[in-house]
Amino acid sequence: MAFEQNAIAQTDSTYIGTFSQEYSGRVFIARKYTSLSHETDNDKTDEYMPNNPFDIGIGFSWGGSSFSFSHGFNFLADPEKGKTRSLDLQYHYYGKKIVLDFFGQDYKGFYLEDTNKENIIGMYPDMQLTKVGLFGQYVFNGNKFSYRSVFDQTERQLKSAGSLLLGGGIYYTRVRAETSLAFYKDLYQVGPSIGYAYTWVINRHFFLTGSVTPGLTVGFKNINDTLIWNPSVFFRSAFGYNADSWSLNTSFLLNKLYVSYKDDNHISLNSGNFQFTFIKRFDSNSQILKKIPRF
């Protein structure tokens, strides 16, 4: 569930436009997950994945705000990959100058595939990952570059543009890896990040967006502990199509947070969200809709 509110900032109308319709509805298919990656010095990576199904959702937008709801159906999960119990709350706010991402995730029950992803080589019902975090960014060129046109599509990027991003995050992570890895960790992490985002307006209808924000976190379990320095990175990408009254969008978000980073042994928690969305815009004379507060 998510709420989006408009941020007050001057906009260059030659770069960012609006749609003529006042309202829009959306349906989407999404896959949210948290996984654990174990990378070694021999270029081998083990990816412990949860067996959670795709979510099916609906949403509604008005003015600069929107609301959405989604639900995963367990019968869509692959029974050969074991069972996963999960709670996954993600909130992504795209303002003119401010971007916020909240993660509240708890997963128990994972599986491991071989490098070709053809065979399951292990199931770990007692493995548990917990992550709670807040990540924020300041968009320096928010008057010409619009994140909202990409991930909400309540606006429209008219010309190609990009922006420097500056921000940081604060996280709590808990890992109970009941595997051959035998990794157990409770860690508080905080640190800055800097990156760049760019939207390429291919033509009047198509656009392609990518952003990457590397960072560095300092971590500790207790206030008197030795500080632990680990890297982090946040990826966002999207490809979409805008018609006058409808849109299609495929987007992907990945927050990769390392909890251990030794010379020959890297362990990270990866929070991802893949989504395919269809949006239909419309006007209405409904008095009920017109009474909804605008922000």
Query: What is the 3-class SS of the chain, one letter each residue?
Result: CEEECCCCCCCCCCCEECCCCCEEEEEEEEEEEEEEEEEECCCCEEEEEECCCCEEEEEEEECCEEEEEEEECHHHCCHHHCCCEEEEEEEEEECCCEEEEEEEEEEEEEEEECCCCCCEEEEEEEEEEEEEEEEEEEECCCCCCCCHHHHCCCCEECCCEEEEEEEEEEEEEEEEECCCCCEEEEEEEEEEEEEEEEEEECCCCEEEEEEEEEEEEEEECCCCCCCEEEEEEEEEEEEEEECCCEEEEEEEEEEEEEEEEECCEEEEEEEEEEEEEEEEEECCCCHHHHCCCCC
| Structure confidence by residue, pLDDT tens digits, 259-293 | 988 878 899 999 989 999 999 998 876 655 665 65
- Averaged pLDDT of the chain: 87
Domains present along the chain, CATH in parentheses: 2-290 (2.40.128)
| Structure confidence by residue, pLDDT tens digits, 210-266 | 999 999 999 988 767 778 899 999 999 999 999 989 999 999 999 999 998 887 889
| Structure confidence by residue, pLDDT tens digits, 117-131 | 677 888 899 999 999
The model scores a pTM over 0.85: yes
Q: Which pLDDT belongs to residue 250?
A: 97
